[in-house]
Structure 1
Amino acid sequence: DDKASVDVIAAEACPRYLGRIVKGVNVKAETPLWMVEKLRRSGIRSIDPVVDITNYVLLELGQPMHAFDLNRIDGGIRVRLAEEGEKLTLLDGQEVELTADTLVIADHAKPLAMAGVMGGEHSGVNGETQDLLLEAAFFNPIAIAGRARNYGLHTDSSHRFERGVDYNLASTAMERATQLVIDICGGQAGPVTNVTAEDKLPEAATITLRRKRIEQVLSLTMADNEVTDILVRLGMDTEASTEGWTVTAPSYRFDMSIEADLIEELARIYGYNRLPVRTPAAATPLAKAPESRMAIRDLRRQMIARGYQEAITYSFVEPELQKALDPEREALPLLNPISADMGVMRTTLLTGLVSAASYNLKRQQPRVRLFETGLRFVPEADGLKQIPTLAMLVCGNRLTQGWSEQEAPVDFFDLKGDVEALLARGGNAAAYRFESAQHPALHPGQTARVLKNGEPIGWIGALHPATQKKVGVKQPLFVAELDLEAIRGIAVPEYGDISKFPEMRRDLALVVEQSVQVDQVFDGIRSVAGDYLTKLNLFDVYVGKGIDPDRKSLALGLTWQHPSRTLTDEEVNNSVEAVLAHLSESIGATLRG
């Protein structure tokens, strides 16, 4: 009548625990030859009759079990999570230091076994054991998964529990093990203590199976009675419905959860070789390609056409390099990085491109032109923001080596020209501006903020010499980073008449303050030059002899053209006078003498 005392504290991890006391057993009895041979053929060595019985039940029914020496248990069984740093010597003699997420079978004083993995040496059955406590339980696979590997272990028990065990099997296994113990070792068995948290046990899956779906997946129309027969023979409870069947899987079929699982079983039992071979047919409409949005592939082609090569770098980057290139942002650290060089998520794509450029330059590549499209990961107060971005990098020679061209290094304006060409690809180049700015990782005299309709969308500039030193590159690197979504907008083409009348051009040499930006001059000209100004370009900048050191000379070309008649000199001269008057008043510009 002795009953095991069981207290399940971690019911979420162990919804069902069965224990039974068996007294007066003879552990020195000989294991029957048929059992020894069965175990041997299954690759398991015979140890003693009690251990052999638990191993045999595992093979026979699929339920892992364990037997404790009852006299080595203090107070009763407690199923709980281990305390951090608690130690346990396992049956193989290995002492492990348990972590707080490890489920253990313990008594009132100490841990006895690592639940679902391996028993402890102290409470294990030995040659002096007379009384047993048999254990059969259902452990949540999530609570067992990975625990054995964390301690460098791999056992049959952990292998089963990780992949799933029938949650209704423990009672049958307990009775079968008890019978074998009494038959082989003798003794008397007490009642079973069953501690079950019904609300924590898995629920039998109820799945809707449709006739049309069977035909669609298997290209076969199966008779209703054949489908029902196969499912019933597999142990499923089936109930017919208008569209097919409602199927409840038995507890031992924990691999059944969705309709496709049932269809796979039908195909398996029906016979794969009997299934017809048909070419699948499906409606595959073309994805919409909005005319007002540039495809990523077109952007890549544009970059390749300008001599760039696409790079694909890791999103995980080296923390120090990340800090050097984006010192104002705190990158998101990884909990389990692949290596020390991949410890944080990139907040800028330049981290990967600079590393790639450094790698190529160290291998005597004289000319590097790289670009990358991808996500950068910026931590914000409301979470991690993932921003699609385009990054560009140039260094080395401007052109490939050849007899017709002199070697010259790239500069800021080479990269700026490539960026402008890319922005002009959308047909709305006037929406973009380059504004002198400061960036902690870029050269203070060669840095610009890229604006679209007044809103910042990126940066362009040369790496700061101090940053170059940190990343281990000696020659200048010129980089750009742009918001990808902002530059993908395309102005929808509109028809415009082509004038057959001649153009009229005037060249102006204006002297302005050094601080005046060309965009200011352009904006001033366009505001007063009239509707027929068709072209405006800067073709020379002069600073030196004959010019005040605080001023510079800008040579501009202005072109007018009327769509339906020839413009007169007087009209053009009036426009030029209006331009000069406005620029003189707004920015203090004068004509160069």
Structure 2
Amino acid sequence: MKTSLSWLREFVELPAGLTAEQLDEALTNLGMEVESIVDQAATVKGDLVVGRVLTIEELTGFKKPIRFTTVDVGRGEPQEIVCGARNFSEGDLVAVILPGGELPGGFTIGARKTYGRNSNGMICSAAELGLSGDHSGIIVLPPGAASPGDDARPVVGLSDVLVEVEITPDRGYEMSLRGIARELSYAFSAAYTDPATLVPGRAGTAEPPYAVTVEDTVGCDRFSARVVRGIDPNAPSPEWMQKRLIASGIRSISLPVDITNYLMLELGQPMHVFDLNRLNGGLVVRRAHPGEKLTTLDGVARVLDAEDMVICDDTGPISLAAIMGGETSEWQPDTVDVLLEAAHWDPVMVGRTARRHKLFSEAAKRWERGVDPQLTLIALERAVRILTEHAGGTVDERVLDIDHLAAPATISLDPGLATRRIGLAYDAEQVAALLSQVGCTVTGSAPLEVTPPSWRPDLLAPIDLVEEVARLGGYNDIPSLLPPARGGSGVTPAQRRRRTVGRALAENGYVEVLSYPFVAPGAADQLGYPADDPRRSAVRLTNPLSEQEPLLRTSLLAPLLGTLKRNLGRGRRDVAVFETGTVFLPRLAGNAPPAMGVDRRPSDTEWAAANAIVPAQPWHLAAALTGDIEPAGWWGAGREASWADAIEAARIAVAAAGISADRVTVSAAELAPWHPGRCAAIAVDGTVVGHAGELHPAVVSAFELPKRTAAMELDLDALPLPPVTQAPRISSFPPALIDVALVVDRDVPAAEVSAALAAGAGSLLESVSLFDLYESEQLGEGKKSLAYKLTFRAPDRTLTTEETLAARDAAVAAVSSQFAAVLRGA
């Protein structure tokens, strides 16, 4: 909303010495965001002075009339100025900007030679000074208005202050002089004159001036109209009106249209002008029929929706109600009979229509925020008076007023609610006084019965009234203290597990990333999913953030591999990243969810039916790595990441989740997108919870990643939550360390050998870990050697050599019995 300070002063008695800083602070404290406060005098830089035209010489030989003038600007010798305007004569007073000055828009004035003559400055028009849109001629000042050399700014009207504020969506009443002036009266405790009370509206008559039928009283609950015949179509808008419209960012069009725009700015009531002689039959206000078409004033042919409201005559729709008029019935330069319309439209309908047609007119911006429904007759009376004053015409004494307004609802307010919510002590009398100040009718005591005024449709609930108490009571008086927080239950076990797993991977060199959960339709092909893979079935978003990625991910790997590729493309070569997040697994259902309103809580049956088709959203963990997992340096060569590191990342995550190693099984598996021969299934208590290994060469190629890139993905929600257990007792006695190398068949999983060692060694075994894998022809065909480090420790004594060797032999015997293993070197 943009306006001028002088216009505001007509309705509120602001302090005479009000500064821009004081005005800015007042508007901000009232809840308005100040975009700018501009002194018009500063928009023209340099010397803008009054000049008297001394001589005029008509120059010939050019395509357009050119005049060479001499002008007394009160600075010694007269200035020579070339000018193309012809609406001034010798002896007239004009506004002159001298060389070195700058006009609005950054147009700098200099001394130059043009049309064969010297020109030192410019004689200015109102358009060049930003005062109006009139380019027809320069400003001619009244005789005696000033003397040559005087500052021309106050004389031409460049002495005002322009104010622009951003209005929040719930405060439509502030999109008018009426609303902003009312707010400023609160801030400065100043006298306020409501412009809606300056002219009383005429009540509706039994016989309307024109036949109108309102079919949908929900979309339009009030429709008023007046008729004026025989106006002068060439009557210009008064200069004061043009200046105020220009200052508010609205161009002057014609007197009838300018009046509607002027009153929209002043009162907040949008209006519309129809050419009475271009209407065919009576008007009908209704919802559009699907597929109906209307060409609006901007020349766009629009296909209408069944929710749109339209005004129709016998030819069909002639106006997109509350948004923009149509071409067939609008004011024309030769219009002499007009129908002025002022109505009240449903804000929700207007907002949806404006967004559907991408047509955000000044009227639509006000309607969707809420307009005072009691303004229609007042605005019409003001419009009729201004129109007949400047364009003549005969007013039809009949008044149309179709009124289906509902009575305002009363809100019951506990007077102590403001104190509890704001943190300041407000007694009941103070609450009632502040609410009365904004126009509410307050009765009762406990509770207070509050009826909001017609211009405040945003006041719907007790908490809205509390906000008004805080705002008018003074935001700056509210202490900056945090309210006491209620004790919480802390993080859930699942949340704690996710944090612990993430911390464990970070401590092992992985970097956490966050990706959007959206994927392209071709992601399943890139990952090499088979045609019948359930992970191909993805949820499609109705309104995606990007049309290229309209699906929700069923795996973390596609976005994660995209992040890996992006890092490689920016020069990183050794990358290990991980991410935790939800995946979306659709539940295919043949029935649509039940339609649920907002007037009541859904029943248990409706809630269950709606949730039955909500996708399952388990938390997953994924990691991907490429390049060197151990960097090279002076200490020696590095080590390249491999499928084994991806499996180890899965082990780290499972261990961090509280799952002991004896419950975890790692076995060979085949699952896209992993390489069939280098993929492992990670199982806990016999249930597969994820996979890890080297990515398939086709997947690596599709994502443009280096060869041997490895990855893993786990379903964290599938991991059993560990029970609360006592911390283990830590022995203070020294450990006994023994290495064993076992020769087994090549297809025997190392994890199963490790489990057999643990089972055979008994309670003295503290840990077992694989540290070497060796294959050679010397071992025999189809054989491999697995070397393990066994750690033995007793809780109450130092183990003897005999005890340690006995436990080792028992462990080896168990592996030999189960897998026919042979102790290497024996």
Q: TM-score range by the shorter chain?
A: 0.7 to 0.9
Do the aligned partners of 2:735 and 2:791 also contact (CA within 8 Å) in 1?
no
Number of the residue aligned with 1:227: 431
1:160 — aligned with what? 366
2:600: which partner in 1?
A: none
Is the Cα–Cα contact under 8 Å of residues 692 and 713 in structure 2 kept in the other structure? yes
Distance change (3 Å), C-alpha of 1:108 and 1:168: same
SS at match of 2:630: coil
**Letter in structure 1 aligned against 2:496:** M
In 2 relative to 1, CA 325–70 (structure 1 residues): closer, same or farther, beyond 3 Å?
Answer: same
Distance 2:490 2:385 in 1: 69
Structure 1 residue 525 displacement after superposition: 4.8
- Cα distance in structure 2, aligned partners of 1:408 and 1:383: 45
SS in 2 for 1:54: helix
Instruction: Find the counterpart in structure 2 of residue 354 from structure 1.
Output: 561
Matched, 1:16 2:221: yes
Q: Is 1:249 paired with 2:452?
A: yes
Residue of structure 1 aligned with 2:440, choices 200, 220, 236 = 236
What are the Cα deviations for residues 186-226 of structure 1, in whole angstroms up to 9, with x where unaligned?
13244525163x6xx6x745444444443345554344333
Match for 2:468 among 226, 241, 265?
Answer: 265
SS of structure 2 residue aligned to 1:449: strand
- What residue in structure 1 maps to residue 510 of structure 2? 308
- 1:439-483 superposed Cα distances (whole Å, 9 cap, x missing partner): 221111111222222233222121111111111223221111223
Q: CA deviation at 1:540?
A: 4.1
Does structure 2 retain, via aligned residues, the 8 Å contact 1:136–1:171? Answer: yes
Counterpart in 2 of 1:194?
402
Judge which range, 172-181 or 260-269, deviates more: 172-181
Taking the aligned partners of 1:571 and 1:151, their CA distance within structure 2 comes to 83
The match for 2:575 is: 368
Shift of 1:115: 1.6
Query: Percent of pairs identical after alignment?
Result: 32
Residue 119 of structure 1: how far off its partner (Å): 1.0
Q: Counterpart in 2 of 1:331?
A: 538
Q: 1:204 to 1:446 in 2, by over 3 A?
A: farther
Taking structure 1 as reference, are residues 258 and 553 closer, same or farther at Cα in structure 2, changes over 3 Å only? same
CA drift of 1:277 comes to 4.9
CA distance in 1, matches of 2:805, 2:766: 12
Separation of aligned partners in 2, 1:250 and 1:218: 23
Amino acid in structure 2 at the alignment position of 1:15: C
Distance 2:494 2:358 in 1: 57
The reply to whether residue 119 of structure 1 matches residue 325 of structure 2 is yes
Amino acid at match of 2:468: E
Contact 2:760 2:814 in 1 (8 A): no
- 2:666 counterpart (430, 434, 439): 434
| Distance verdict in 2 for CA 1:238–1:568, change over 3 Å | same
AA matched with 2:701: K
Per the alignment, residue 481 of structure 1 pairs with 713
Paired position in structure 2 for 1:409:
640
Equivalent residue, structure 1, for 2:269: 63
The residue that corresponds to 1:105 in the other structure is 311
Letter of the 1:398 counterpart: I
Taking structure 2 as the reference length, the TM-score comes to 0.62
Q: Is structure 2 residue 397 aligned with structure 1 residue 397?
A: no
Distance in 2 of aligned mates of 1:340 and 1:299:
34
Q: Give the C-alpha shift of residue 404 in structure 1.
A: 0.9
Return closer, same or farther for 1:209/1:154 CA change in 2, 3 Å cut-off.
same
Structure with more contact order per residue of length (Cα contacts < 8 Å, sep ≥ 6): 1
How far apart are residue 583 of structure 1 and its match? 5.7
Q: State the AA in 1 paired with 2:425.
A: T
Amino acid at match of 2:686: G
State the one-letter code of the partner of 1:122.
T
Q: Tell me whether 1:544 sits opposite 2:773 in the alignment.
A: no
Which SS does the other structure have where 2:443 is aligned?
A: strand
- CA 532–357 in structure 1, closer or farther in 2 if over 3 Å, else same: same
1:459 corresponds to which residue? 691
- Contact 2:683–2:689, Cα closer than 8 Å, also in 1: yes
| Pair 107,448 (structure 1): closer, same or farther in 2 beyond 3 Å | farther
Amino acid aligned to 1:254: P
| 1:23-77 deviation line (CA, Å, top 9, x unaligned) | 6443537467465666566554554443344334323432111122334333433
Q: 1:386: which partner in 2?
A: 617
Judge which range, 48-57 or 349-358, deviates more: 48-57
CA offset digits 1:323-365 (Å, max 9, x no partner): 4237332333344444454443332222222122222323442
User: Structure 2 CA distance, aligned partners of 1:231 and 1:293?
Assistant: 46
- Residue-by-residue CA offset, 1:208-260 (whole Å, 9 max, x unaligned): 44444433455543443333233223221223343x52322122102223444
Aligned length: 583
Q: Could you tell me whether the CA contact under 8 Å between 1:390 and 1:481 is conserved in 2? A: yes
Return closer, same or farther for 1:292/1:439 CA change in 2, 3 Å cut-off. closer
Secondary structure of the structure 2 residue equivalent to 1:386: coil
For 1:403-437, what per-residue CA distance to the aligned partner results, in whole angstroms no more than 9, with x for missing partners? Answer: 11213321111232233233223443323222322
**Equivalence for 2:14:** none
Please give the secondary structure, in 2, of the residue aligned with 1:511.
strand
Q: Which residue of structure 2 aligns with residue 511 of structure 1? A: 744
* Runs of at least 5 residues in structure 2 that lack an aligned partner in the other structure: 1-206, 530-534, 589-612
Considering only aligned residues, what root-mean-square deviation do their CA atoms show, in Å? 3.8
Return the offset for 1:518. 2.9
- Counterpart of 2:652 in structure 1: which amino acid? A
State the TM-score, normalizing by the size of structure 1. Answer: 0.84
SS in 1 for 2:615: strand
CA distance in 2, matches of 1:75, 1:233: 47
What letter matches 1:332 in structure 2?
Answer: V
Higher mean displacement: 380-389 or 36-45: 36-45
The 8 Å contact of residues 104 and 113 in structure 1, kept in 2 or not, is answered as yes
Contact 2:224–2:377 (8 Å) recurs in 1: no
Counterpart Cα distance in 2 of 1:37 and 1:568: 105
Contact persistence 1:499–1:561 (CA under 8 A): no
Match of 2:496 in 1: 294
How many angstroms apart in 2 are the aligned matches of 1:504 and 1:307?
Answer: 28
Residues 173 and 433 (structure 1), Cα distance of their counterparts in 2 relative to 1, 3 Å cut: farther
Taking the aligned partners of 1:555 and 1:591, their CA distance within structure 2 comes to 10
CA contact (8 A) 1:19 1:133 kept: no
- What one-letter code is carried by the residue in structure 1 that aligns with 2:344? F
- Alignment CA distance shift 1:283-1:579 (3 Å): same
- Identify if the C-alpha distance between structure 1 residues 9 and 291 changes in structure 2 by more than 3 Å, giving closer, same or farther: closer
Amino acid at match of 2:322: G
Q: What CA distance in whole angstroms lies between the structure 1 residues aligned with 2:786 and 2:580?
A: 37
Distance in 2 separating the partners of 1:537 and 1:47: 87
Residue in structure 2 matched with residue 494 of structure 1 by the alignment: 727
Shift of 1:394: 0.9
| Residues 78, 451 of structure 1: alpha-carbon distance in 2 compared, 3 angstrom cutoff | farther
Displacement of 1:283 in angstroms is 3.9
Whole-Å Cα distance in 2 between the matches of residues 339 and 440 of structure 1? 27
Hey, what's the Cα distance between the residues in 2 that align with 1:523 and 1:404? 35
Cα 1:304–1:495 shift into 2, 3 Å: closer
Unaligned runs of at least 5 residues, structure 1: none
